[in-house]
Amino acid sequence: MSKLPIIGISMGDPAGIGAEVIVKALSLPEIYTCCRPLCVGSALAIADAIKFCNLDLAVNIVAEPKDGKFACGTVDVMDLNNLKPEELQYKQVTAAQGKASYEYIAKNIELALEGNIDATVTGPINKAAINAAGYHYAGHTEIYATLTNTKDYCMMLADHNFRVAHVSTHVSLREACDRVKKDRVYRVIELSHDALLKMGVEKPRIAVAGLNPHCSEGGLFGFEEDQEIIPAINAAKEKGFDVDGPIPADTVFSKMAGGMYDNVVVMYHDQGHIPTKLQGFQFDQKTGVWGALAGVNITLGLPIIRVSVDHGTAFGKAGEGRANPQSMIDSLTVAARFAKK
């Protein structure tokens, strides 16, 4: 057990399902066969989640990661003690809870940078709450980039062998088009290749999606493919990468799902998020329940490992015990795999 990586899990917004999916994931014995999980958050919220989920778990508050018991049946928590009982308000956007969630992230990053934990996993946050608390970030990725002083990074979403890496994410669609530049596309190809190797893919096969319909049809519908994307692909091939494209976005994901590629480099947020969540999320209209919330979010290019659940705070079901922990389970498994490389 002492040789397994310590994974710090920032709890996310207390108003959401972060604490719930953490305790449900940590109730599974198999998690403790791949890592030593440590929650960085609120012992109050964790204890409440254990209660309303009717789980037979104890809370162990630790001052340092090394003090954890790391045994199934116990949730080790580094309690930042920054949330009063009356401030725990499920389903509500509040500055107090936004501040607390930011502090969980910052502490987790600090622990990783100092080498006290081997990887980080992030629970879901609410951007409005974070901003109400005075932290003006578009999301986790930008917080990590700032606090680790990283300027060259990208987001990868993964659901088992279905993976996408983004040229741009949290910007307007108009700005996303402007960000499709040769150097950036090449760098995302490079970051993807390195990540795939760490995931155990021996010979990564990478596809690059086009930006425009039909990859612009030779300039009829745009110029980005000819002027920016193709030169980036050619540069990657010269470096020895197995890369193909540009391929129209309406077919490239089906090809990857069929086993032709290990990853698709996408040009903007929804181009990658929509197919990945269609792959990993399953909603049952008859029951009104999400049957699956699979997949993870990985930030590539950081000096530390960061893997996140691929869903939001789900305020609509927070505090009710109905949240699906699959994405948290996947996140811990992927983070442990990265930490062992």
Amino acid present at 199? M
Place of tokens 């090449």: 186
> H helices then E strands: how many in the chain?
12, 14
Q: Which two tokens stand for residue 165?
A: 């890496």
Q: Same CATH fold, 154-277 and 6-150+302-339? A: yes
- Provide the terminal-to-terminal Cα distance of the chain, rounded to the nearest Å: 17
Tell me the Cα Rg of the chain: 20
**Residue 292 pLDDT:** 47
CATH number of 6-150+302-339: 3.40.718.10
Return the sign of the alpha-carbon dihedral for residues 274, 312, 139, 204: negative
Q: What Cα–Cα distance (Å) separates residue 101 from each residue in 41, 79, 325?
A: 8, 12, 19
Angle between helices 18-25 and 43-52 (to 10 degrees): 70
Ranges of each domain in the chain? 6-150+302-339, 154-277
- What does the pLDDT profile of the chain (341 residues) look like in tens digits? 568 999 999 999 999 999 999 999 999 999 999 999 999 999 999 999 999 999 999 999 999 999 999 999 999 999 999 999 999 999 999 999 999 999 999 999 999 999 999 999 999 999 999 999 999 998 888 899 999 999 899 989 988 889 999 999 888 999 999 999 999 999 999 999 999 998 889 999 999 999 999 998 888 888 999 999 999 999 999 999 999 999 999 999 999 999 999 999 999 999 998 998 887 665 556 655 544 445 788 899 999 999 998 788 989 889 999 998 988 999 999 999 888 76
Cβ contacts of 56 within 8 Å, gap of 6 or more: 27, 73
Four-way CATH pick for 154-277: 3.40.190.10, 3.30.230.70, 3.40.718.10, 1.20.910.10: 3.40.718.10
Burial of 59 (0-12, 13-18, 19+ CB in 10 A): middle
pTM for the model stands at 0.85
